[in-house]
Amino acid sequence: MQLEKYSVGVGDRFGRQAEAQLQAFQTAAAQGVIIVPVWNKSNREHHLIGSEPIAVRRAADAAIQAVGWAHSYYVDADHIGLKTVDRFITACDFFTIDVADDIGKPPAPGAVKAFMRRHPELEGDVEIPGMERPIPCARADAEQAASKFLRAIEEAGRVYRRIGAAKAEDSFIAELSMDETDRSQTPLELLIILAAIADENIPIQTLAPKFTGRFNKGVDYVGDVIRFEREFNDDLCVIRHAIRQYRLPANLKLSVHSGSDKFSLYKPIRDALKRHNAGLHLKTAGTTWLEELTGLAESGGDGLILAKQIYEQALAHLEELCAPYASVIDIDRKGLPSTTSVNGWTREQFVRALRHDPSDPQFNPSLRQLLHVGFKVAARLGSRYLQQLEACKPIIARNVTRNLLERHIRPLFLMIPLC
Ligand SMILES: [Zn+2]
């Protein structure tokens, strides 16, 4: 099973929008660019919502049938580890193996020395085609990087083999994610990670490193775009080099876990993909739920009332909702409107505060981030929430499709012809 050059991860917390999401991919395909959808849902999300991985599979299969999608699609066990992978094995064919917790744990005695013996090429300057200058690789630096990452890669090997023991080897795609850490990886670290992955025999097809800057949920990138662009280019060069040097899968590509809506990065990413003729996996999870809320509000009547109640509950449980996401949200509490004022809003006011249009002075990033992590409130509402989704279905579907197509797929993949 080989992952296509371009793929986009989509989340669908309540499992009702797969068809509307797929319409966006269908439109791109009609314009000649095949981007394959990957429905991803993490263990934490399943836990908060009370859903099972098989429900994601069923929703995806049904949407594929209904829309008549003729290309590949995948269901991703998002951010799984050895403790959480089992419940995903039957339903999923894409596994995002997350070993961030093992980064920095001391490796077994002798492991670093053995690694250095296997990799004499990682001493002295390492010349990487496409990079401005060689990566300086003093033995001490290489050893330090190896000792930081070897345990994590061994753990990834264990997870991969556990999946491989239950599924045929060519029946799933493996991604390695290291994005949920505090520090971005240097080119040297990335090279050592890739060498270690090859040693562990993990045929990963995508790799999600941590990039520089803040990737807050549902809002734009906060950081140095120029520096991001340089890092992204360096990562592409290192990956291409490692594919040859360590015989990793030829289609190995970068995966950008962005918390969605990193609009200011789309141009540098697109330029880099073009320059290197490279593929990309982009994860946009979480925004579909916000489009459901936008659609409820835009529908007016009971839909708007429910959207306002969800905001009220989210505001009341702010600490509890934000705690698990502390490192990926920046909410300015003073910027959050009171329940009283939101209850007086028209549907237009609600939609404009929530919709991610950076040029709109009424857009409120704090409100958007709070509602982004507020899906638990909707989960608690249960059938009342789901019934309202049904009642407002056409308007919600239009928002879901348009968001994915116009804000993500078009600027990244359709604006300038890629290679
Ligand atoms: Zn991630």
pTM of the model: 0.95
Locate the domains of the chain by residue range. 6-286+404-414, 288-399
| pLDDT the model gives residue 418 | 55
d(CA 258, CA 254): 12
> Which tens digits make up the pLDDT trace of 237-289?
999 999 999 999 999 999 999 888 999 999 999 999 999 999 999 998 778 99
> Which tens digits make up the pLDDT trace of 346-401?
999 999 999 999 899 999 999 999 999 999 999 999 999 999 999 999 999 999 99
pLDDT beyond 70 at 91: yes
Cα 327 to ligand 1 centre (Å): 12
Q: What average pLDDT score do residues 309-328 get? A: 93
Burial of 198 by CB count in 10 Å (0-12 exposed, 13-18 middle, 19+ buried)? buried
Q: How far apart are the first and last CA of the chain?
A: 23
Question: pLDDT band at 416, cuts 50/70/90?
Answer: low
What are the angstrom distances between the C-alpha of 293 and each of 285, 296, 400?
Answer: 15, 5, 10
Cα 303 to ligand 1 centre (Å): 31
Question: pLDDT band at 325, cuts 50/70/90?
Answer: confident
Cα 254 to ligand 1 centre (Å): 12
Cα 1 to ligand 1 centre (Å): 22
- In the CATH hierarchy, which top-level class contains the domain 6-286+404-414? alpha beta
Cα 294 to ligand 1 centre (Å): 24
Nearest residue to 219 via CA among 115, 349, 366, 333 = 366
What mean pLDDT, rounded, does the chain reach?
95
Cα 181 to ligand 1 centre (Å): 10
For 388, residues 6+ apart whose C-beta sits below 8 A from its C-beta are 296, 302, 303, 306
Cα 298 to ligand 1 centre (Å): 30
Q: Which amino acid is at 393?
A: K
Cα 255 to ligand 1 centre (Å): 9
> Which tens digits make up the pLDDT trace of 143-196?
999 999 999 999 999 999 999 999 998 999 999 999 888 889 999 999 999 999
pLDDT beyond 80 at 112: yes
Question: pLDDT band at 81, cuts 50/70/90?
Answer: very high
What are the angstrom distances between the C-alpha of 131 and each of 231, 234, 241?
Answer: 10, 6, 10
